[in-house]
Chains A and B, each alone.
Chain A
């Protein structure tokens, strides 16, 4: 039997005690206990009537004060509520400042930029030295599976992706892979064509296949270089961005070499014409004429090459592939997509603020709770000591 276990007789006596205290009848064997209870209760100290009156008055005063306080509380906002509200506002302000400074809302110091966002932002102008050979650059954002919300690029073409470095001729090529639900495949394809036309581009080729989960669409687009970045930003809002691959090739040196060769050949052509005019024999004239013909053919080819390079530098190619797959929640196509995305961003900011507020307040709350609990434990132990030594 453990220390706290009572025998059946003892339990019965305790049950009888409860009956005695409830003024219920008990058996003869418990009459002695009933007499003991009666003696203890009868011998207990009794309130002095004067004190009873004072106690009545004291509690009546409390009641009156409570009524006055209730009236005050009804008439004006509670001080405690104001204190809580002020504290909440301060915490929210601190959180807002932190969120702003971290760049979540787009202000303050720059926040870390994801690779995909970096791709969709306007690239800085190329600064390849004039004397260097042909340069190329390729950027990949293939790890963006799942479709992070795309950040729209600036609408200004001159400040966008296709801005040319002064004196440089750069060819740009990009490949964009989007994912959308099979049901919206055709709609997205139509919007791609529309967006391309708005960007003054042309659809060189397209292939749209709507067949359930195997649906896909591919486009080969050509747009003015300055319109490439805005077009990519626009297309990125139509569906989830799975990957973005961007490349540039500096063709300035090739262009300069062609122009130099052209100039040389034109000069050579002029010299041959002079030589032809003074040729003494028919055989020599025929030989010069053959050289002139070959030279003119080269000059014509060089003109075509120079035109091709100029076209390549002024336009960019964009390969767009749309596959069936889950869409990012922010990539909603349709007339309300912009508002929806803005609402999502606002919600994201609010949640960020709430999280920061929670993170700020939690340590204080836990510390206060621990202090309160510790103080209560110490106080209770001291009370128990007091009764032992009373």
Chain B
């Protein structure tokens, strides 16, 4: 990925900060959105839309309300959910995310099998549980940031996250 040049904004250095946020989060945002939508083409559109919105609204970002990464994932989540609504209204066809099975070929068979198991298990989870796992594991949001993104309390976010992890373990047949 090429490095985006500094974008002049209202404050000195804000452009560099946005670029840094973009570079550190773009892959994770795409992974989260693509897992949520299960559609590569829509995920690309939504990811681009999320970064455009974030760029345009960067002056509204308030560090007191959470990290920039959490703010970006909230924007991406809203865009993805809007896409889900639109898809439900129009009945749009899915363009499934490409199966990276070929990437597993080079791995140790046990590890490859485990990753395949987890990927399938994650796909079989309830959408809300899958979203929680992705926001935490891929987005690396704190529980407080999860709460802000999901519009719930921090303790509720922690509880829901733990239950989602348990369900993932369950569907993957993982024992502790």
Contact = CB atoms under 8 A, between A and B. Distances in A.
Interface in A365-390: 380, 382-384, 386-390
B65 interface: no
A56 B2 contact: yes
A36 B26 contact: no
Contacts of B43: 45
A45 B128 contact: no
A55 B116 CA distance: 29
Interface string A49-66: 101111110111011001
Given A45-B43, A67-B8, A390-B127, A53 B2 contact: yes
A54 B26 CA distance: 12
A390 to B, nearest CB: 4
Interface string A306-331: 00000000000000000000000000
A45 B127 contact: no
A44 B176 contact: no
Contact of A386 (B85, B115, B151): B85
A205 interface: no
A32 B128 CA distance: 23
Interface string B132-165: 0110111010110000000101011011011001
Interface string A2-31: 011110001101100110011000000100
A263 interface: no
B162 to A, nearest CB: 5
B36 interface: yes
Interface string B19-48: 000100011101110111000100110011
B176 A59 contact: no
Interface magnitude class on chain A: 35 or more
Nearest to B37: A390
B59 to A, nearest CB: 11
A100 B118 CA distance: 76
Contacts of A51: 30, 44, 47
B27 to A, nearest CB: 6
Contacts of A114: none
A63 B48 contact: no
B84 A40 contact: no
Contacts of B131: 387
B17 to A, nearest CB: 14
Contact of B8 (A33, A46, A59, A66): A66
B84 A390 contact: yes
A14 B159 CA distance: 10
Interface residues of B, number: 68
A3 B152 CA distance: 13
Nearest to B117: A39
B36 A59 contact: no
A129 interface: no
B91 interface: no
B134 to A, nearest CB: 7
A36 B168 contact: yes
B122 A14 contact: no
A356 to B, nearest CB: 32
B161 to A, nearest CB: 7
A41 B27 CA distance: 11
A36 B15 CA distance: 36
A271 interface: no
A52 B26 contact: yes
A112 interface: no
A13 B85 CA distance: 35
Contacts of B63: none
A62 B52 contact: yes
A70 interface: yes
B8 A70 contact: yes
B25 to A, nearest CB: 12
Contacts of A29: 176
Contacts of A58: 48, 51-52
B78 interface: yes
Given A6-B159, A39-B114, A41-B137, A46 B26 contact: no
B138 A41 contact: yes
B125 to A, nearest CB: 11
B114 A390 contact: no
A35 interface: yes
Nearest to B45: A51
Contact of B169 (A11, A36, A42, A45): A36
A387 B88 CA distance: 11
Given A17-B165, A40-B137, A390-B84, 8 more contacts: A45-B98, A52-B26, A62-B52, A66-B7, A70-B8, A387-B81, A387-B128, A389-B88
